[in-house]
A and B are shown apart, each in its own frame.
Chain A
Amino acid sequence: MDTREIDTRNYTALLKKYIETQDEQALYGAEQISKSFIKKNILPEEFVNLHIQALLEIYPDLHDKIKPSMHFLLEAMISYGLAHQEFQNLREKQLAIKSEILVAARMQKMLLQSKIPETDELDIGVISVPANQMNGDYHHFVKGKDGTISITIADVIGKGIPAALSMSMIKYAMDSFPENIMTTDTVLASINRVVERNVDPSMFITMFYAQYKPDTGKLYYSSAGHEPGFYYSSRLQKFKDIESKGLVLGVNPDASYVQDELNLEKGDIIILLTDGVTECRRDNQFIDRTEVIDVIKKYIHLPSQEAVNHVYRHFERLQNFQLRDDFTLIMIKKQV
């Protein structure tokens, strides 16, 4: 006896029992049997056919109006069966794509991991979370032989895989520049030429690039259209935007940038971010930059890494745990 025959017998027995007793147990049996049919990929039309066979066995003289009506139902089920098979096929495809992306995301993470440099002067914290699996935000720290610490934060337009692909380009271009002998504005001018040559006309990248020189305690920086960061002066106990003019990368190959500087004193704090932070929406209202400062203020007494983690959790909750854009936040405290 093949499984189909066993199924038919079981189903017939259950149906018969239910018709006679109409009790819940038989209905529970129906639930179990339908689950096992789904597992065996039995299509709705075959199910209906099975029902017809069972009915005919129980009532060999089935009312002559019932039989065609059951047939009618069988015909109507064909399209449902097709839809079911299509969904199943699409679901398998989706799983395949998902696992492919997962591998790519892992590769990207490995490629772009940036260790926070060890230094007694600065307490650095960073958090970068993609909205989807792949991250279109970029950050990188490098400690030079002379102790100079360079900090890069960049945001590729859009998110997901296209953004992540462009980001790998930035990473390799940045790695190819000679270490710390270039000023911040020349670094941006060089990377801009690379980006302009290699991106789609509607694509662009914003970047903030800084170098901290421990011997002078100064932070040199340039911006290519990047969301302004914040500077907290411990002496004045005040926040200030780090404004710096410069065109986004990828628009004009001849764009030039300016280098600005900040004198960092003990307790001063630099906060760098991408617009995923300021573009958080709450009930469809955008939050203000002053609100971002308010949140940062709440955690500013904590070590930098803890502070950025808390700020992230705050905004994650605000957006119902569904980031709309990649989110990157860096906090740098001058310790001595």
Chain B
Amino acid sequence: MNLQIQIDEKNNESFVHLSGEIDVYTASELKEALLPLTMKKGHLLEINLENVSYMDSTGLGIFINALKSAKEHASNLKLVNLQDRVHRLFQITGLNEVMDINTTIRGVDG
């Protein structure tokens, strides 16, 4: 399965809409799309994960990388609309405590 990355940039905000699976195969593409957006000072990067049905640990690593980069460059990273399975990954790893994660919606298959 593939990952579609759609980016809308407005002034000092970027909205990234992801759909598909984030795994070893799609992670590097995602990394290349996200990292530059975290390097602008004061920029807000909001990532919508509503249509992401699966993420593995490599995918999680990309978000950790983005978080570190956002901290370093004084930008803001926000994740919204996580499916249950994906949200659970952030909970287990304790990342939900150090990242801005908003509104969980239910997984497509319940």
Q: Which residues of B contact A245 (CB under 8 A)?
A: 94, 97
Chain B proximity mask over A143-170: 1 for CB below 8 Å, otherwise 0: 0000000000001011000000000000
- Is B58 in contact with A158, judged by CB distance below 8 angstroms? yes
Which among B24, B31, B61, B92 is the interface contact of A204 at CB below 8 angstroms? B61
Answer whether residue B56 sits at the interface, using C-beta atoms and an 8 A cutoff. Answer: yes
Answer whether residue B69 sits at the interface, using C-beta atoms and an 8 A cutoff. Answer: yes
Q: Which residues of A contact B68 (CB under 8 A)?
A: 201, 251
Give A275 to B69 CA distance when docked, in angstroms: 27
Answer whether residue A123 sits at the interface, using C-beta atoms and an 8 A cutoff. Answer: no
- A-B contacts, 15 listed (Cβ < 8 Å): A155-B57, A158-B24, A201-B64, A201-B68, A202-B31, A202-B61, A224-B94, A225-B94, A245-B97, A246-B94, A247-B97, A248-B93, A251-B68, A251-B95, A279-B56
The verdict on A206 contacting B93 (CB below 8 Å), with A201-B64, A251-B68 known, is yes
Footprint of A on B, CB under 8 Å? 24, 31, 54, 56-58, 60-62, 64-65, 67-69, 85, 92-95, 97-98
Which among B54, B60, B85, B95 is the interface contact of A247 at CB below 8 angstroms? B95
Q: How far is the CB of A121 from chain B (nearest CB, A)?
A: 30
- Is B93 in contact with A275, judged by CB distance below 8 angstroms? no
Answer whether residue A185 sits at the interface, using C-beta atoms and an 8 A cutoff. Answer: no
Which among A228, A255, A275 is the interface contact of B57 at CB below 8 angstroms? A275
- Is B24 in contact with A225, judged by CB distance below 8 angstroms? no
A202-B64, A225-B94 given; 17 more Cβ-contact pairs under 8 Å: A157-B58, A157-B61, A158-B24, A201-B64, A201-B65, A202-B31, A202-B61, A203-B61, A204-B57, A204-B93, A225-B95, A247-B98, A248-B93, A250-B64, A251-B98, A286-B54, A286-B85
Q: How far is the CB of B88 from chain A (nearest CB, A)?
A: 10
Give A95 to B85 CA distance when docked, in angstroms: 40
The verdict on A252 contacting B98 (CB below 8 Å), with A157-B61, A158-B58 known, is yes
Q: Which residues of B contact A228 (CB under 8 A)?
A: 92
Footprint of B on A, CB under 8 Å? 155, 157-158, 201-204, 206, 224-228, 245-248, 250-252, 255, 275, 279, 286
Q: How far is the CB of B89 from chain A (nearest CB, A)?
A: 9
Q: How far is the CB of A256 from chain B (nearest CB, A)?
A: 11
Give A247 to B94 CA distance when docked, in angstroms: 4
Closest to A247 in B: B94
- Is B64 in contact with A251, judged by CB distance below 8 angstroms? yes
Which among A227, A248, A275 is the interface contact of B94 at CB below 8 angstroms? A248
- Is A158 in contact with B94, judged by CB distance below 8 angstroms? no
Q: How far is the CB of A40 from chain B (nearest CB, A)?
A: 42
Residue of A225, A226, A279 most packed against chain B (CB within 10 A): A225
Q: Which residues of B contact A204 (CB under 8 A)?
A: 57, 60-61, 64, 93
Give A275 to B85 CA distance when docked, in angstroms: 13
Residue of B31, B61, B69 most packed against chain A (CB within 10 A): B61
- Is A248 in contact with B31, judged by CB distance below 8 angstroms? no
Closest to A250 in B: B64
Q: How far is the CB of B70 from chain A (nearest CB, A)?
A: 11
Give A275 to B93 CA distance when docked, in angstroms: 11
Q: Which residues of A contact B93 (CB under 8 A)?
A: 204, 206, 225, 247-248
Which among A227, A250, A286 is the interface contact of B92 at CB below 8 angstroms? A227
Q: How far is the CB of B59 from chain A (nearest CB, A)?
A: 10
Closest to B67 in A: A251
Q: How far is the CB of B61 from chain A (nearest CB, A)?
A: 4
Closest to B97 in A: A247
